[in-house]
């Protein structure tokens, strides 16, 4: 089978000739720690050199989707390694800050904009009466890029950030303040969550008809180290049902990116409309196995099956651990072997290629 066919059939849990294998190495976190030429390689070149199956991002250009927020003015102030975002609302100005990590070339929140009840009230304006409009020329540019990638037998992904609950926890108010609002001001919490949900639905309805990619990732980052199973059931699942169904309705494969501890949620995730669970992280960094996923979450294809801790072991140990997990599975449909999270920096190119070659030699008919 060719690359695109193998990945597509795996995600739809159809028979394939071998397990697809894809490591998250085409990123600055891994590449910045590597010598040349790997440090400077483009994603496709790097993945192919490492004998990885190839899947890359293919969203619309950033300027394709225009956002109207009639009640809020957004200003950004930049300092070296610090980005301050100010949201001017009718109830005052909210200020959030992010610090830059030059090694991973990524931003991390260091000050939440809606940590107090008053700030949480003002946050409502950010999601009220929003509108989204897609520029036709930019959307066509995205489709053209996807066509070019498909002609190179490359599978593609696009996506969106976390839904309302995880967005509040990770970006807007932080875990502690989010729980305080949930229990101390439940009516306000429900109002903000619903405003955020309706804003996300407007975004998806505007964007999905133009999405050029094969898959659309709902980047939930779900983990029971941040939320409880009941919080997930009450505040995430109703939203994920609607979000995933919208993606399906547009003929795109919906993927849940849930990179945390999921063991207590497997049966709940199984009921959701997304076809795939990604960043499926095994023990000891995560708390699941491939066998548990196939047994307790059978409606989902699984992208993952290893973890950063395992990648610190020898090639032989990594491969044998995966084989033993596969041997415990009731079936091996829909298994797409990957590093789950970002490939850890100590995993060299040579080691990664050796693991890839060994995993690509595995065939579903052997299990």
In this predicted structure, what is the pLDDT of residue 247?
98
Distance between CA atoms of 163 and 215, rounded to whole angstroms?
Answer: 17
Quick one: DSSP state of residue 295? Answer: H
What is the distance, to the nearest Å, from the Cα of residue 96 to the centroid of all Cα atoms in its chain? 23
Q: Provide Rg for the chain, Cα atoms.
A: 21
Query: In this model, does residue 73 exceed pLDDT 80?
Result: yes
129: left (phi over 0), alpha (psi -120 to 50) or beta: left
In this predicted structure, what is the pLDDT of residue 103?
77
Distance between CA atoms of 321 and 162, rounded to whole angstroms?
Answer: 31
In this predicted structure, what is the pLDDT of residue 293?
98
Averaged pLDDT for residues 347-361: 98
The pTM of the full predicted model, rounded to 2 decimals, is: 0.96
Distance between CA atoms of 308 and 310, rounded to whole angstroms?
Answer: 5
Query: In this model, does residue 286 exceed pLDDT 90?
Result: yes
Averaged pLDDT for residues 7-19: 98
Query: In this model, does residue 272 exceed pLDDT 90?
Result: yes
User: Residue 19: which of 344, 347, 323 has the closest Cα?
Assistant: 323
Sign of CA dihedral 309, 313, 315, 317: negative
In this predicted structure, what is the pLDDT of residue 59?
87
Residue 167: both structure tokens together: 């967005």
Distance between CA atoms of 253 and 213, rounded to whole angstroms?
Answer: 9
Distance between CA atoms of 106 and 88, rounded to whole angstroms?
Answer: 25
User: Residue 344: which of 262, 293, 287, 281 has the closest Cα?
Assistant: 281
- If one counts every other C-beta atom within 10 angstroms of the C-beta of residue 356, the result is 21
- If one counts every other C-beta atom within 10 angstroms of the C-beta of residue 231, the result is 17
Quick one: DSSP state of residue 349? Answer: H
User: Residue 73: which of 123, 31, 126 has the closest Cα?
Assistant: 126
Query: In this model, does residue 104 exceed pLDDT 80?
Result: no
In this predicted structure, what is the pLDDT of residue 105?
77
Domains and CATH numbers, the chain: 3-61+136-162+213-366 (3.20.20.210)
Out of 103-107, 194-198, 257-261, which region has the weakest mean confidence (pLDDT)?
103-107
Task: Tell me the pLDDT tens digit for each residue of 144-159.
Answer: 999 999 999 999 999 9
* Confidence tier at 69 by pLDDT (50, 70, 90): very high
**CA distance between the termini of the chain:** 19
Q: What is the mean pLDDT of the chain?
A: 96
Which long-range contacts (C-beta less than 8 Å, at least 24 apart) are formed by 33-36? 33/103, 33/345, 33/346, 34/345, 34/348, 34/349
Averaged pLDDT for residues 195-223: 97
* Confidence tier at 65 by pLDDT (50, 70, 90): confident
- Percentage of the chain surpassing pLDDT 70? 99
In this predicted structure, what is the pLDDT of residue 61?
74
Provide the Cα torsion 69, 172, 236, 124; round to 10°: -40
307: three-class secondary structure by DSSP: coil
Averaged pLDDT for residues 29-49: 97
Out of 101-110, 118-127, 285-294, 320-329, which region has the weakest mean confidence (pLDDT)?
101-110
Q: Are 278 and 303 in contact (CB under 8 A)?
A: yes
Query: In this model, does residue 64 exceed pLDDT 90?
Result: no
Averaged pLDDT for residues 160-176: 97
Averaged pLDDT for residues 99-123: 92
Residue 250: both structure tokens together: 């547009």
Query: In this model, does residue 241 exceed pLDDT 90?
Result: yes
Query: In this model, does residue 357 exceed pLDDT 90?
Result: yes
Counting every residue written for the chain, the total comes to 367
Measure the CA angle with vertex 36, ends 34 and 42; round to 5°.
Answer: 90
Residue 331: both structure tokens together: 């079936």
Q: Are 80 and 101 in contact (CB under 8 A)?
A: no
Q: Are 13 and 302 in contact (CB under 8 A)?
A: no
Distance between CA atoms of 182 and 198, rounded to whole angstroms?
Answer: 19
Q: Are 99 and 81 in contact (CB under 8 A)?
A: yes
Query: In this model, does residue 265 exceed pLDDT 90?
Result: yes
Averaged pLDDT for residues 1-24: 98
In this predicted structure, what is the pLDDT of residue 151?
98
């Amino acid at each position: 089978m060719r690359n695109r066919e193998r990945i597509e059939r795996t995600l739809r849990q159809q028979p394939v000739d071998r397990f697809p294998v894809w490591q998250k190495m085409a990123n600055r976190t891994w590449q910045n720690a590597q010598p040349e030429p790997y440090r400077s390689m483009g994603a496709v070149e790097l993945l192919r050199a490492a004998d990885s199956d190839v899947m890359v991002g293919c969203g619309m250009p950033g300027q394709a989707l225009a956002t109207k927020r009639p009640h809020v003015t957004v200003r950004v102030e930049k300092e070296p390694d610090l980005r301050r975002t100010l949201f001017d609302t009718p109830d005052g100005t909210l200020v959030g800050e992010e610090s830059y990590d030059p090694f991973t070339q990524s931003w991390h929140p260091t000050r939440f904009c809606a940590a107090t009840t008053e700030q949480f009230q003002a946050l409502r304006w950010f999601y009220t009466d929003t509108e989204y409009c897609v520029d036709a020329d930019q959307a066509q540019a995205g489709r053209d890029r996807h066509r070019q990638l498909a002609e190179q037998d490359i599978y593609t992904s696009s996506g969106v950030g976390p839904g309302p609950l995880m967005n509040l926890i990770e970006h807007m108010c932080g875990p502690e303040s989010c729980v305080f609002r949930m229990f101390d001001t439940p009516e306000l919490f429900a109002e903000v969550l619903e405003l955020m949900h309706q804003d996300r639905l407007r975004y998806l309805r505007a964007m999905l008809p133009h999405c050029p990619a094969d898959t659309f990732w709902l980047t939930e980052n779900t983990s029971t180290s941040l939320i409880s199973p009941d919080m997930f059931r009450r505040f995430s699942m109703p939203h994920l049902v609607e979000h995933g169904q919208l993606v399906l309705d547009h003929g795109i494969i919906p993927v849940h990116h849930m990179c945390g501890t999921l063991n207590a949620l497997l049966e709940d995730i199984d009921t959701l409309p997304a076809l795939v669970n990604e960043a499926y992280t095994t023990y000891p960094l995560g708390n699941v196995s491939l066998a548990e996923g196939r047994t307790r979450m059978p409606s989902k294809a699984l992208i993952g099956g290893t973890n950063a801790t395992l990648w610190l072991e020898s090639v032989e140990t990594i491969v044998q651990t995966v084989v033993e997990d596969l041997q415990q599975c009731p079936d091996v449909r829909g298994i797409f072997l990957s590093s789950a999270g970002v490939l850890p920096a100590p995993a060299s190119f040579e080691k990664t290629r050796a693991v890839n070659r060994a995993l690509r030699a595995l065939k579903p008919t052997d299990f």
